[in-house]
Structure 1
Amino acid sequence: MTTRTPWATDSGRPAATPARSARPWTGPWYAGLGMALVGSQVAVSGLLADAPLFAVQALRYTLAAATLVLVLRLTRQTVPRPRGREWAWLVGVALSGLVLFNVGVVRGVAHAEPAVIGVAVAAVPILLALLGPLLGGTRPAPLVVVAAVVVTLGAALVTGGGRTDAAGLGYALLTLLCEAGFTLLAVPVLRRLGPHGVSLHAVWIAAAALWVLSLTTEGPGAVLTLRPEHLPAVAHLALGVTVVAFLLWYTAVGRIGPGRAGLFTGVVPVASAVGGVLLGGPVPGPVVWAGVAVVVLGVVLGMRTRSGPDALATTNLGQPAPPRTGIQLPGG
């Protein structure tokens, strides 16, 4: 006897999920909170500097995938089975935003100061403001593009400049493209799969790829070298920075569109700077605070636009979807 999981109802169709909230402030709030959690990764990652990179990330995404499955079971939500080209988009999200992004950051800081990588990532709002609407079949909203430039300038002030070489610039470009890919490659599948579906499939695909990388480059025993003090940091990366932040982010993208949601990536360096102070680091100088003010100005400017020209065609995201085949797991 098999037991159906939250992925399918007895009729073979996914169960209806609650209707999307009509409160307009939830999209910006989710985007800002999600990116603030991502910004906390900087401080936490410092505790993992001597840990094997791929083993840590593989363990992180494995724990995140298991947590998402548990959440789906407990809340009786459904995740449709990806089909056809959707697998390619999901693999793109996983390999770009979750695997190659981490490789680019770690390898990049060996050739460039961390600020250089940070400035590259700070340019993500511009890419999302330009390319996000195009993926939805609409034109970029001029005010959102202007706001994205303002946010990027502010984030660059917060992050600062730095020295680099040619390889460092290449890794900086890689991190920029991968960070943008994390959002843009999810756009074609977000409406049908929803935030839970995109998050779950992306993290288990990334976990599988990272386990392969860890086994082949770090050895089978790499994960066993983790010390007890590493585990809380891994748990925070898995639960806070991955599960919660991913769900908040993809929900926000579905509600306000990738262009306007992208403005909130400027929150990442701000949250990193504030988090450093809370953890006992030095208080940033006037240039950093000026950058924070510019980021806030850019976000406020961009959010003054209406969702029409920028939003994804996801106005019924979270509404009951058309019939489709649900995923069924053995056991129960």
Structure 2
Amino acid sequence: MLLGIVFAAAGMACVGSSVAVSTAITDAPLFTLQSVRYAVAAALLLVVARVTGWRVPSPRRREWLWLAGVAGAGLVLFNVGVVRGVAHAEPAVIGVAVAAVPMLLAIVPAVATRILPARGVVIGATVVTAGAVLVEGFGRTDAAGIGYALLVLVCEAGFTLLAVPVLSRLGAFGVSFHSVWMATAGMAVVGVATEGPAAVTTLGTTDLLAALHLAAVVTTLAFLLWFTAVDRLGSGRAGLLTGVVPVSAAALGVPLDGVVPGPMVWLGTAVVAAGLVIGLSERRRG
């Protein structure tokens, strides 16, 4: 269990680093850049497989549908929701939506299986969500912004929940690789439709370096760590560790931007830590 916690926390810390990188690519054609990111990530995963000797398992029958859900909802539609959402809402609103993911990851599997979730996990998820909201803060939005925030919330939870049925056979590597190459195709279609086929030629050096970081750290490394953790801990407990994302993003702001976290960030970090202790102390049910 301890190794799963470490993997989940490390994976979410990698995701938190994307906040700093994203500020450098606000003027880039984002959907096109995302397709480049996922294409590079797919290539990196193949390199990792070649070097380590890992086998790339082929999906069977319904597994294709689950993987398509992970890629379509958890990656493509999630990014569409974020990009469109920030046009109607301040980034903190989208961040608060993502902060509520632990609640969905704790409750949805219990509803689907008709098994009561562990009380400590639900309480921990509630506390972690509250702490993450304190770290993120609140922002202004309109009705469309709220809709996009809810879309982002559902898609972010779907990224994990839709992977659970195929993790046992395909493993973290198989789920990561197949969902990433599918997302490459999906984001390419969205990019061509909204930004034009020539958008890729407008990507500058900074954009490509950002795409490389997103591909290597936020996708390849983070996905492998995260799906391994979900397989070890279950979606409910692993979901608690998503509270690490806003905390790590705030921590990275100190060396990168010289921004020292305010009192609410420190309070939120303490609340997230308390939620993790509560949720992860509960014994896992069979």
Inter-partner Cα distance in structure 1 for 2:232 and 2:255: 32
Equivalent residue for 1:269, pick from 246, 252, 268 = 246
Pairing 1:170–2:147 present: yes
TM-score w.r.t. the length of structure 2 is 0.97
Inter-partner Cα distance in structure 1 for 2:186 and 2:202: 20
**Helix, strand or coil at the partner of 1:48:** coil
Q: Does the aligned pair in 2 maintain the 1:133–1:259 contact within 8 Å?
A: no
* Code of the aligned partner of 1:172: A
Counterpart residue number, 1:307: 284
Pairing 1:114–2:70 present: no
Mapping 1:126-145, distance limit 5 Å: 126-135=103-112, 138-145=115-122
1:132 deviation in Å? 3.0
Inter-partner Cα distance in structure 2 for 1:127 and 1:201: 24
Q: Does the aligned pair in 2 maintain the 1:61–1:206 contact within 8 Å?
A: yes
- Structure 1 stretches lacking a partner, 5+ long: 1-23, 310-332
1:282 deviation in Å? 2.1
1:136 deviation in Å? 6.1
Larger Rg: 1
Inter-partner Cα distance in structure 1 for 2:255 and 2:274: 24
Mapping 1:140-151, distance limit 5 Å: 140-151=117-128
Counterpart residue number, 1:8: none
Counterpart residue number, 2:181: 204
Q: How many residues align?
A: 286
Q: Does the aligned pair in 1 maintain the 2:118–2:285 contact within 8 Å?
A: no
Alpha carbon RMSD of aligned pairs, Å? 1.2
1:190 deviation in Å? 0.6
Counterpart residue number, 2:11: 34
Q: Does the aligned pair in 2 maintain the 1:126–1:149 contact within 8 Å?
A: yes
Counterpart residue number, 1:257: 234
**Helix, strand or coil at the partner of 2:257:** coil
Counterpart residue number, 1:55: 32
Counterpart residue number, 1:44: 21
Mapping 1:57-72, distance limit 5 Å: 57-72=34-49
Inter-partner Cα distance in structure 1 for 2:265 and 2:113: 35
Richer in helix (by share)? 2
Inter-partner Cα distance in structure 1 for 2:112 and 2:171: 17
Pairing 1:124–2:101 present: yes
Pairing 1:191–2:168 present: yes
1:105 deviation in Å? 1.0
Inter-partner Cα distance in structure 1 for 2:114 and 2:56: 26
Inter-partner Cα distance in structure 2 for 1:135 and 1:26: 27
Inter-partner Cα distance in structure 2 for 1:191 and 1:137: 21
Mapping 1:64-103, distance limit 5 Å: 64-103=41-80
Counterpart residue number, 1:17: none
